[in-house]
Structure 1
Amino acid sequence: MPLPFVTADREDRVQAAQSVTLAEADRDLWRRPYRPGPWRVGGGALLLLLASYVLFSALVIALAGSLPSAAVCAGCGVLVIVLAVRLLRAGVWVSSHGLRQAGLLRTTTLRWAEVGVVRTVQRPVRWLGMPRTVQGQALVLYPRTRAGNGAAGSDAEERRILLTDHNADFLPRRPGFERAADVIESWAAESRS
């Protein structure tokens, strides 16, 4: 049975969160200007399901009397939980301090003074982060040049792809990608002025 009041409320909260500007936001909080996509949430849920099986097997092994094996199994379960949390937190985060790109294993933070231009471009992008590429849109960050007065748009190794419309957050939600790209571009423009 559909519950229209639940979806309408959720859509209103998402739209309100995406329209937050730098002037209205709490300046010290890191925010992700979009919600995680179904592929990311599904992957995190599968990892948490796997972790529950691993932790249950650690309990069974401990009850059987092999404590060192149970400890190794419990450690693997905790590692899978940490991996699931990192997967769910991956993405682009913004605050008054700068822009943070959180990945599965590494997080990179750039101050707004280091950000030159953020723009959406048409280019081949990876499909769900796999080696296969398809034509799509990408939100690309061009860092400020060392001289400090422009963007280094010509050096391919200096530009950084922040989001694509074929990643785990936006694969089935192209309008969500466009809204998120607009919000991140506006945060970058506000921080430069």
Structure 2
Amino acid sequence: MAALGFVVALFLRQVQLRDSARAGSTDMGEGFGQPSGADSQRVLEAAVGKIIGTTGVEDARRIVAASDTRLDIAGAWAVMQVELFTRMTGHAGLGLIAARRHMPPEALLPVFDRMIDEGYLTRAGNFFSHTDAGAREARVIGKAWATWLEERVQQDIGRPAGTDLRAAVDAISKRLLVEDLGNGLTQRSGELASAR
């Protein structure tokens, strides 16, 4: 039977797996062998991508509540958007944030204005940056997020994430950002074309 199974396996067609940050990874339980180097990084990125893709609003609420932040969920979201975009693109523009979320900038402006009024953000034109208080909130929320993510990664791949976790999160975040912005810009171009 084993020999027959081997022969059949030889004739099975290979299928390329979809390489996307949102694609679910295969089962990587406790019996998963620990790879090294680039393979290890790919496994970690797949696990992080799977977790990020399934993280919901209630998870975010729990993470923020467990952190030492003084912000509510909306304020925490705004401060972390500034953190993410500044790290990924070098600046946090209202247009980019709105495009990623497929929302009009006017819908997001009130929460950013509130964070400015409360002293967590500053604004120059359409670009936001942290004040010292905002940077402190981003650190404590980021720390809580990293702790939660490390625990989830350890559950998924059966081993600690190690120092490569930040690199994996950044890689996934960049891919998601590019995908989201690409989809948003394509959708917006289609809307403009149909309006003409």
TM-score greater than 0.5 by the shorter chain = no
- Structure having the higher helix fraction is 2
